[in-house]
Amino acid sequence: MSPDATFPQRPFPRDFMWGTATAAYQIEGAATEDGRTPSIWDTFSHESGLVTNGDTGDVACDHYHRYEEDLDLLAALKVRAYRFSVAWPRIHPDVTGPANQKGLDFYKRLIAGLHDRGITPLPTMYHWDLPQSLEEKGGWTSRETSYRFADYAATVLEQLDGVDKWTTFNEPWTSAWLGYAYGIHAPGRSDIGAGASATHHLLLAHGLGVQACRDIRPGVEIGLTLNLGAIRAGSNDDADVAAAWRNDGNLNRIWLDPLFKGEYPQDMVELYAEYPPGFSVVQEGDLEIISSPIDFLGVNYYGPGTVMGEGREHEARMAGFHVGPPPSEESINHLHSIGVGVPGRPRTAMDWEIDASGLRELLERLSKEYTQIPLYITENGAAYHDYVGTDGAVRDPERIEYIKQHLEACLDAMDEGVNLQGYFIWSLLDNFEWGFGYSRRFGIVWIDYDTGRRIPKSSYYWYRDFINANS
């Protein structure tokens, strides 16, 4: 191991849940096999022209056929848990018709394979692959989709035995805002009002899903995963502080307040009243459903954000910040702010700033302002332009450093009393990075997309040794 590849000096609790994470459309491939029907991501990747190199998830990592090999990689890594997602279009190809046995069988094999290796499954019911047929009826802008999700949640809970911990959704923010408001993710709609109504229907679907699952198996643990962040104002100027608060509202409070306080933040309700239908879709009793108690919260954290008020590019430059080009779509700037870059701060291949102190800040805020239920870092990781060296090895010291810094931040937060119980690296495998196709690699295992060959990177071995030293 290289000298910079040391471990955090403080130990984690021995029962801490170490894991890695993936998602169905990003790794499975087999897009038309065993009764699977198209999802919005099949349509978007084939038709929108908005995915780098025209990449699609048709084959991806071919995990559908190679899952045994991937399970062996997990076993050799000695993780306690594996987070993956179930593809709705494999389970309910006709949405309202009977469940597809072949689709269920794939996940049954996967779950059995995890149990055989002593690994706890942590499946997510929805990681962005909405059946295309539901999108044609309005997708997440339609309340009906929330009820269909509850039916699907009941099916997977009933059918996939041996899972004690489920998450309903992964990053509903991304589905609602990148998919319905900004048009850069499936289904590619650019309508701020649709972003707000999708927000509500995703939350409603989560609440209905939780209730359906509790009725079927009262003992099961259910949570959801949010992508949350630390949003900072570029200065103390009122305009910048207000811009940071609006961005915090859209990314953090619009999810956390209804889930944990049973209400939408008033400033967000007022903001989206200007964008019909906005929150006019909320019906009596919805917030009680949405705030149904959950057993844990998954947190996906990648980096912090700094914003200033709209039109303050000059002040931002004077303060030494990097200022990007203005948003090309008027609608993107409904938060009336500009994103600025902190000079000198390292960035990943996604151009995301690295600052682990944001993770500590976020965890402490969650614990103080929202909830004491167990928290899990369900995703944390970094993309780099990895390559196979002449000796056949893939060395990724920057990723190791990134993970190490974020683990230190977890320890700092735990020292402050945060009830953090697990950490999952995004991702086990290089995979289909949505709008970036295969051009960004997040894995601790390299994928050769021509042959399907897997090569564990140096971060994989580092994580294995780290887990060994901490369990």
Is-contact 79 467, C-beta < 8 A?
yes
CB atoms closer than 10 angstroms to residue 270:
11
Q: Is the CB of 334 or the CB of 440 nearer to ligand IFM?
A: 440
286 binding ligand IFM? (CB under 6 A):
no
Q: Of residues 28, 135, 171, 361, which has the active-site annotation?
A: 171
SS3 content of the chain, % helix, strand, coil (to 5): 45, 15, 40
Is-contact 167 298, C-beta < 8 A?
yes
CB of 441 to ligand IFM, least distance (A): 11
CB of 443 to ligand IFM, least distance (A): 10
**R_g (Cα) of the chain, nearest Å:** 21
What secondary structure letter does DSSP report for 288? H
230 binding ligand IFM? (CB under 6 A):
no
37 binding ligand IFM? (CB under 6 A):
no
Q: Is the CB of 225 or the CB of 247 nearer to ligand IFM?
A: 225
CA–chain centroid gap for 359, Å, is 15
CB of 85 to ligand IFM, least distance (A): 9
Query: DSSP letters along 33-78, please?
Result: GGG---BHHHHHHHHSS-SGGG--SSSTT-HHHHHHHHHHHHHHHT
Q: Is the CB of 353 or the CB of 379 nearer to ligand IFM?
A: 379
Residue ranges in 124-153 that form contacts with ligand IFM under rule CB under 6 A: none
433 binding ligand IFM? (CB under 6 A):
yes
CB atoms closer than 10 angstroms to residue 449:
15
23 binding ligand IFM? (CB under 6 A):
yes
Q: Is the CB of 272 or the CB of 426 nearer to ligand IFM?
A: 426
**Count of residues of this chain found to bind ligand IFM when the rule CB under 6 A is applied:** 8
379 carries an active-site annotation = yes
What secondary structure letter does DSSP report for 278? G
Residue ranges in 388-427 that form contacts with ligand IFM under rule CB under 6 A: 426
**Token digits of residue 428:** 């086990």
CA–CA distance, 67 with 88 (Å, rounded to integer): 18
> Any idea of the CA torsion for 398, 401, 403, 409, to the nearest 10 degrees?
-140
CA–CA distance, 458 with 160 (Å, rounded to integer): 34
136 carries an active-site annotation = no
Q: Is the CB of 277 or the CB of 437 nearer to ligand IFM?
A: 437
379 binding ligand IFM? (CB under 6 A):
yes
CB of 23 to ligand IFM, least distance (A): 5
Residue ranges in 159-178 that form contacts with ligand IFM under rule CB under 6 A: 171
> Any idea of the CA torsion for 281, 285, 288, 291, to the nearest 10 degrees?
-20
Is-contact 63 22, C-beta < 8 A?
yes
70 binding ligand IFM? (CB under 6 A):
no
300 binding ligand IFM? (CB under 6 A):
yes
Residue ranges in 359-378 that form contacts with ligand IFM under rule CB under 6 A: none
CB of 302 to ligand IFM, least distance (A): 7
Which residues would be at the binding site for ligand IFM (CB under 6 A)? 23, 26, 171, 300, 379, 426, 433, 442
Q: Which residues are catalytic?
A: 171, 379
